[in-house]
Each structure stands twice: as structure tokens, then as C-alpha cells.
């Protein structure tokens, strides 16, 4: 490591507070400092070449060093670097992007609002649900359901909606309007002899019990990722979305599909909603909307919701919501360019093509001593680590087996994410079969490294 790299790390340790990080560990050891990237690879200050097996944070869909995206940003900065969308003002790029997204959207969406992050998109959805329920004469419909281990953002409202205990503890959260139904992890929580369809029916029945206990007339919506990312790349069991949507329709409860991770090809379709037959009332997206080259997100919804928004706007004289950088010209230009690239290279088709190799290589690790289950779709795969796979006996949390695998993978040149003892593997969507072979080989080696440590401790 050169002198400049050491100085940068010391600067970071001294002043930069890192989100979702162990602060004590950071203060002692500092960060891994990433200096540049190209394709599916990132490089650190020690000169290590690392395959990005987590797409940054599930967002770097087109990899790194894409000149078309950077040039799109530069062109827009030269023409119009900022324009507000408040007070009935607009600009060409955001008008074009709005129409483009609506033409791609699932299920009858016709209106779009822009923000800077997935958290803000989901926070906006919560506000709009409360806002429009007031217009409809149902102001008591304020309760929002998420799922245990689900993740929808880090604002006060969206982290309350998220079912992540470590994000609630010490913050005095969640807020009382937010409730959580069960995590649909079939492997961990099925009853012996219970099929996936029976498990899904039981999950829906438990969900209905919670709704009835709260009062259906007080429930506004259910937020869900088509496949859960923040809970560890968890795929829905067979029949899950059919059963859950039947309950929602029964009580006239809205479904908000959080496509922040699943959108734009991750699951082998443009939207995860399409992959699992969801019929959402609202859709949020971000991350791959700009291939992570600029902070931008979108919330899409139907004309009927917009009509309710107009009622309140008529009464108050304005729609009292928005963000300074909503629909930013540079973000919109980058988003349009990303969508052009997706179409030109048939990104969804590419994901479908290489997915067979990716999932084959991932499933080949299912018989590893640390691995209990492997499930995936597209370029999105989750690994359940378990001490005894057949008896479903987890590892002692103190062993931090997932973190161990994550660290060994990094040492071998593969960035993965551990969520407890689940591993999430979702590389950039442009990854090719040769890179898949190399990445999965490094993953297997990391599992072997961890097993050599763990086998002597259990």
C-alpha cells in the first residue's frame, strides 16, 4: 500500500461515519478503499482485482467504466445541470424518462414521481397512500404491512416498514403504524412434510389473521419485494404470491411492489412482478434505473390514485410534497441512456442466457458441508448456511459463519454479501459465462476456507 492510500484510509477513519457498518471495527481497521472499476471488476488500494458479486449494492447493472453513461451525464451538465420540478416547471429529459418508464411499467401504471433513492420512493408511496385514503374518505387506513427481514429503506418511515431488528434497535422504531408479517423462508420455517404450496397457504392465513387483528379497515397497503433482497436473496416459495394477493384483494388492501433490486432484468424479466405474477397497485424502482451512475428513483402508480391526489390538491391549492433533486436533469439523462443500452444489448435476454450457467454453478455448491439450500432466479441467488441441513440446526451466531465466508471470498477476489448466515450473490447483469465460472470457483474456495475453520468448532 502506498503512502497516499494510507493517508486516504486515515482520513476516512478520522471523519467519515459509515452506514450499515460496525463503527468500532471501522475505527480500528478502517475501510477497504476501492479506487476504480471496469466491467465486473473493482480494484482496491492494495492493487487487488475483485469480481463484484453483489453489483455494488445490487445497483451496478452495467458494471463499471461505461463511457456512454458518463458522456450522457457530461452532455446534460453542459446543457442544463439543474432544473427544479416544483411549481409546475419541468425539462425535456424528465418528460421523456417519465413516458419511457410508464411504457415499460407492469400492470396499468400511468403516473410517475421521481426521487433520489429507493428509500425516498418508498417513503413517497407511504405518504401517497395516506394522502389518497384521506381523499377517499378512509383516513383510518394508515397501517402498512411489511415482512420480517424485509427491507424498503432507511428513512424513519421506510425503516419502520422494513423488518430489520438491527435497524430498529436504539432508534425507538418501528413507528406504531407499521406491522410485519412472517418471512416466507420455506426451508427454515416449513413444517415437516409440508409442501411449498401448503407453506404459502399457511403464510397467507397468518397474514390474514394479522389483518383481522388490526382491523382490515385500518390497513392501507402491503409492501414487498418480489424476491427479498435485504433478508438474504430469498426467493418466494411456490404459490406464495397467488395466496397473498388473494388476501389483499379480499380486504381491498393495496400491493406496493418494491422493484428497487428486482427491476430492470435482475430476475430474467424487466420486473420481478412479471416473474412471479404479481399485480401491484404501485411500483418503486431505483438502483439499475441509472445503472448506479446517478442517484435517481421512481414511483409509478395508476390514474385512480392520481385522481384522489387531485381532490386534495384542489382543496389545498397545491400538492405539498417533493424533493429538491426530484427528476434531476442529469439523473434523467443517465436513466434514459441506461434504458437505451438495456434495449440495444437486450439485457433481459442476456440475463436469461447466462442465468442457466450461473444457477447451475450455484446449485453445484448445494452439497457443500456449510450449505443447506440454494435458490435463485436470473442473476439473483441466495445460499442458506446451516450446521445440520437435514435437521435445520443453525450455526451458533457467535461463529459468524456468513461473515467468515464473505471475508474469505474477498481475500480470493470476490465481493459477496452475508446477511447473517445467508449469502447473497447477484453480480452485474453484463457478466459473461467465463466470469461466472471464475466467480463461482472463488465462492466455492471461500466456502472451503470457512469449512476448514468451522469444522473444528462444531
The Cα 348–Cα 371 span in angstroms is 29
Q: Which three cell numbers mark 137?
A: 374518505
The Cα 173–Cα 94 span in angstroms is 35
Q: Is 78 exposed, middle or buried (0-12, 13-18, 19+ CB in 10 A)?
A: exposed
The Cα 349–Cα 60 span in angstroms is 18
Residue 413 has what pLDDT?
98
Spatial neighbors of 249 by CB under 8 A, at least 6 apart, are none
Residue 4 has what pLDDT?
86
The Cα 338–Cα 340 span in angstroms is 5
pTM assigned to the model: 0.95
Q: Are 255 and 248 in contact (CB under 8 A)?
A: yes
Q: Are 253 and 302 in contact (CB under 8 A)?
A: no
The Cα 375–Cα 359 span in angstroms is 8
The Cα 174–Cα 163 span in angstroms is 9
Count of other CB atoms within 10 angstroms of residue 320:
10
The Cα 230–Cα 150 span in angstroms is 6
Segment 337-370, tens digit of pLDDT:
999 999 999 999 999 999 999 999 999 999 999 9
**Pick from 208, 202, 310, 308: nearest CA to 253:** 208
* Rg of the chain on CA atoms, in Å: 22
Instruction: Enumerate residue ranges in the chain where pLDDT < 70.
Output: 1-3
Measured CA angle at 209 (ends 144, 421), to 5 deg: 70
Segment 296-308, tens digit of pLDDT:
999 999 999 999 9
The Cα 178–Cα 163 span in angstroms is 10
Residue 1 has what pLDDT?
56
The CB-side HSE value for 299 (13 A sphere, CA atoms) comes to 26
Q: What is the DSSP letter of 10?
A: H
Domains of the chain, earliest start first = 32-65+346-454 (3.90.1150.10), 69-344 (3.40.640.10)
Helices 433-454 and 347-363: crossing angle in degrees, nearest 10, is 30
DSSP string, 317-373: SS-----TTTT-HHHHHHHHHHHHHHHHTTHHHHHHHHHHHHHHHHHTTTTSTTEEE
Q: Are 348 and 337 in contact (CB under 8 A)?
A: no
Residue 3 has what pLDDT?
57
End-to-end Cα distance, the chain: 37
Q: Are 446 and 405 in contact (CB under 8 A)?
A: yes
Q: Are 223 and 144 in contact (CB under 8 A)?
A: yes
Q: Which three cell numbers mark 101?
A: 418508464
Residue 202 has what pLDDT?
98
Helix (H) / strand (E) element for 285: namely strand 282-285
The Cα 205–Cα 193 span in angstroms is 18
Residue 317 has what pLDDT?
94
The Cα 125–Cα 246 span in angstroms is 22
The Cα 442–Cα 445 span in angstroms is 5
Spatial neighbors of 255 by CB under 8 A, at least 6 apart, are 221, 222, 224, 245, 248, 278, 279, 280, 281, 282
Average per-residue pLDDT for the chain? 96
**Pick from 420, 412, 397, 419: nearest CA to 447:** 412
Q: Which three cell numbers mark 240?
A: 406464495
Q: Which three cell numbers mark 53?
A: 458479486
Using left for φ > 0, alpha for ψ between -120 and 50, and beta otherwise, residue 42 falls in beta
Q: Residue for cell digits 453513461? A: 69
Amino acid at each position: 500500500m502506498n503512502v497516499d492510500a494510507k493517508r486516504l484510509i486515515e482520513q476516512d477513519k478520522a471523519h467519515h461515519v459509515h452506514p450499515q457498518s460496525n463503527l468500532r471495527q471501522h475505527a480500528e481497521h478502517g475501510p477497504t478503499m476501492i479506487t476504480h472499476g471496469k466491467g465486473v471488476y473493482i480494484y482496491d488500494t492494495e492493487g487487488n482485482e475483485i469480481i463484484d458479486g453483489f453489483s455494488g449494492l445490487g445497483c451496478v447493472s452495467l458494471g463499471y467504466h461505461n463511457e456512454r453513461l458518463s458522456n450522457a451525464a457530461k452532455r446534460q451538465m453542459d446543457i442544463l445541470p439543474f432544473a427544479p420540478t416544483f411549481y409546475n416547471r419541468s425539462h425535456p429529459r424528465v418528460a421523456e424518462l417519465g413516458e419511457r418508464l410508464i411504457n415499460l411499467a407492469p400492470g396499468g401504471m400511468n403516473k410517475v414521481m421521481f426521487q433520489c433513492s429507493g428509500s425516498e420512493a418508498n417513503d413517497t408511496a407511504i405518504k401517497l397512500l395516506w394522502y389518497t385514503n384521506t381523499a377517499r374518505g378512509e383516513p383510518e387506513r394508515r397501517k402498512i404491512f411489511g415482512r420480517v427481514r424485509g427491507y424498503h429503506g432507511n428513512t424513519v418511515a421506510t425503516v419502520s416498514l422494513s423488518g430489520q431488528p438491527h435497524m430498529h434497535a436504539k432508534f425507538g422504531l418501528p413507528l406504531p403504524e407499521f406491522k410485519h408479517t412472517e418471512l416466507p423462508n420455506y426451508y427454515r420455517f416449513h413444517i415437516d412434510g409440508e409442501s411449498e404450496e401448503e407453506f404459502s397457504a399457511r403464510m397467507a392465513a397468518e397474514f390474514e389473521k394479522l389483518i383481522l387483528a388490526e382491523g382490515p379497515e385500518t390497513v392501507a397497503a402491503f409492501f414487498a419485494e418480489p424476491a427479498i433482497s435485504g433478508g438474504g436473496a430469498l426467493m418466494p416459495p411456490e404459490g406464495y404470491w397467488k395466496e397473498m394477493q388473494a388476501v389483499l384483494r379480499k380486504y381491498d388492501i393495496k400491493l406496493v411492489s418494491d422493484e428497487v433490486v428486482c427491476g430492470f432484468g435482475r430476475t430474467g424479466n424487466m420486473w420481478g412482478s412479471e416473474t412471479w405474477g404479481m399485480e401491484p397497485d404501485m411500483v418503486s424502482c431505483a438502483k439499475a434505473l441509472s445503472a448506479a451512475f446517478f442517484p435517481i428513483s421512481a414511483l409509478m402508480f395508476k390514474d385512480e390514485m392520481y385522481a384522489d391526489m387531485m381532490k386534495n390538491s384542489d382543496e389545498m391549492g397545491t400538492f405539498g410534497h417533493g424533493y429538491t433533486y426530484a427528476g434531476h436533469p442529469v439523473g434523467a439523462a443517465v436513466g434514459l441512456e441506461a434504458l437505451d443500452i438495456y434495449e440495444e444489448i437486450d439485457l433481459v435476454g442476456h440475463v436469461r442466457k447466462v442465468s442457466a450457467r450461473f444457477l447451475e454453478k450455484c446449485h453445484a455448491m448445494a452439497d457443500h458441508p456449510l450449505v443447506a439450500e440454494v435458490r435463485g432466479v436470473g442473476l439473483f441467488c441466495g445460499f442458506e448456511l446451516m450446521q445440520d441441513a437435514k435437521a435445520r440446526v443453525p450455526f451458533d451466531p457467535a461463529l459468524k459463519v456468513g461473515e467468515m465466508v464473505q471475508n474469505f471470498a474477498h481475500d480470493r477476489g470476490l465481493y459477496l454479501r452475508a446477511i447473517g448466515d445467508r449469502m447473497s450473490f447477484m453480480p452485474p447483469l453484463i457478466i459473461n459465462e467465463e466470469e461466472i465460472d471464475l466467480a463461482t470457483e472463488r465462492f466455492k474456495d471461500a466456502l472451503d476456507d470457512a469449512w476448514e475453520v468451522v469444522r473444528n468448532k462444531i
